[in-house]
């Protein structure tokens, strides 16, 4: 009987997921159709055509991001076997993530400061870790006002590397804090559609953390900012802490 209940639950989750995906795809696909139609009607006005084309490119970007994140998520959820965990340099992961979010940050006048302890080595999959930190940094940029500062850094604690991303952005209301790691959960739906969020970024981070035997947590205060901390088991290759006796 328990198996039947579990099977029903799994089926309900699956149905929910498909419904969510359908809903998320509907918006950009619908917009693309409307824009294409409008463009046909404005064929003799090159300026309007340009404007519609730019909006189509924006919707196509959003669609591409959604599809990419869905593929990431399904891979991480065990549709594929997990690659072997190997020693990964945390500094390399941080540099890659900063590199990938640098343009978006610069466009808002936001500086990303890298600090913490250098030289940490974790057991992991470099590409997954880089994706996770990139998602955290991309959120920090997206939910911060212009000309602010984001800090990213790692430290060693109780056998884990703690990678923290701190912003001084809008923060997350208390009642939403527990739910932001759920697929498709967004604090503010209307705001999300203007910032182009898919609601999948943190679900991906959470899966990366659990695939590595780690965790991800959030501290946040509305109006002050947020800190997301990703904990990943250290590898034996990490050199001893120079500061401890
Ligand atoms: P999205 O693609 O919408 O950013 P995420 O899964 O990455 O999806 O995040 C889920 C929600 O959590 C976001 O829609 C946003 O409301 C909130 N959030 C995530 N990171 C931050 C942050 N650094 N500051 C404020 N809110 C955040």
Indicate whether this complex's ipTM tops 0.95.
Answer: yes
Which whole number is the average pLDDT over 94-114?
Answer: 97
Higher pLDDT, 192 or 1: 1
Residue whose Cα lies nearest atom 14 of ligand 1: it is: 186
Residue nearest to ligand 1 atom 11, measured at CA: 186
- Which pLDDT score is estimated for 125? 94
CA of 241 to the centre of ligand 1 (A): 34
Within 10 A of 118 (CB to CB), how many other CB atoms are there?
13
Q: Note the pLDDT of residue 193.
A: 52
Instruction: Give, for ligand 1, the residue of 142, 177, 226 to mutate: max count of ligand atoms closer than 8 Å to Cβ.
Output: 142
Q: Which residues have C-beta atoms less than 6 Å from ligand 1?
A: 135, 139-140, 142-143, 167, 169-172, 180, 185-188, 192, 197-203, 226
Q: Model confidence over 64-94: pLDDT tens digits? A: 989 988 988 888 876 566 788 999 999 999 9
CA of 99 to the centre of ligand 1 (A): 20
Q: Which two tokens stand for residue 167?
A: 């912003």
User: CA geometry: angle at 165 spanning 161 and 170, to 5°?
Assistant: 155
Both structure tokens of 240: 């001893």
How far, in Å, CA of 79 to CA of 91, rounded? 29
pLDDT tens by residue, 187-245: 886 555 555 678 899 999 999 999 999 999 999 999 999 999 999 999 988 777 766 54
Taking the centre of ligand 1 as the mean of its atom positions, its distance from the CA of residue 180, in whole angstroms, is 7
């Amino acid at each position: 009987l328990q198996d039947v209940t579990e099977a029903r639950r799994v089926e309900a989750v699956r149905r929910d997921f498909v419904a969510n995906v359908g809903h998320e795809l509907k918006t950009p696909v619908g917009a693309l159709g409307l824009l294409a139609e409008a463009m046909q009607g404005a064929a003799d006005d090159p300026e309007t055509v340009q404007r519609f084309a730019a909006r189509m490119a924006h919707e196509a970007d959003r669609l591409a991001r959604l599809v990419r994140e869905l593929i990431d998520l399904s891979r991480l959820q065990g549709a594929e076997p997990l690659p072997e965990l190997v020693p990964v340099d945390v500094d390399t992961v941080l540099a890659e993530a900063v590199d990938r979010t640098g343009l978006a940050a610069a466009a808002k006048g936001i500086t990303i400061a890298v600090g913490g302890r250098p030289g940490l080595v974790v057991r992991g999959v470099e590409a997954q870790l880089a994706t996770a930190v990139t998602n955290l940094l991309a959120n920090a940029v997206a939910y911060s006002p212009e000309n602010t500062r984001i800090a990213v850094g790692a430290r060693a604690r109780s056998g884990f590397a703690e990678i923290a991303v701190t912003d001084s952005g809008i923060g997350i209301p208390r009642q939403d804090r527990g739910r932001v790691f759920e697929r498709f959960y967004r604090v503010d739906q209307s705001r999300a559609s203007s910032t182009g969020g898919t609601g999948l970024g943190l679900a991906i981070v959470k899966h990366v953390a659990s695939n590595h035997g780690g965790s991800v947590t959030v501290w946040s205060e509305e109006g002050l900012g947020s800190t997301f901390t990703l904990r990943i088991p250290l590898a034996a290759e990490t050199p001893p802490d120079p500061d401890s006796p």
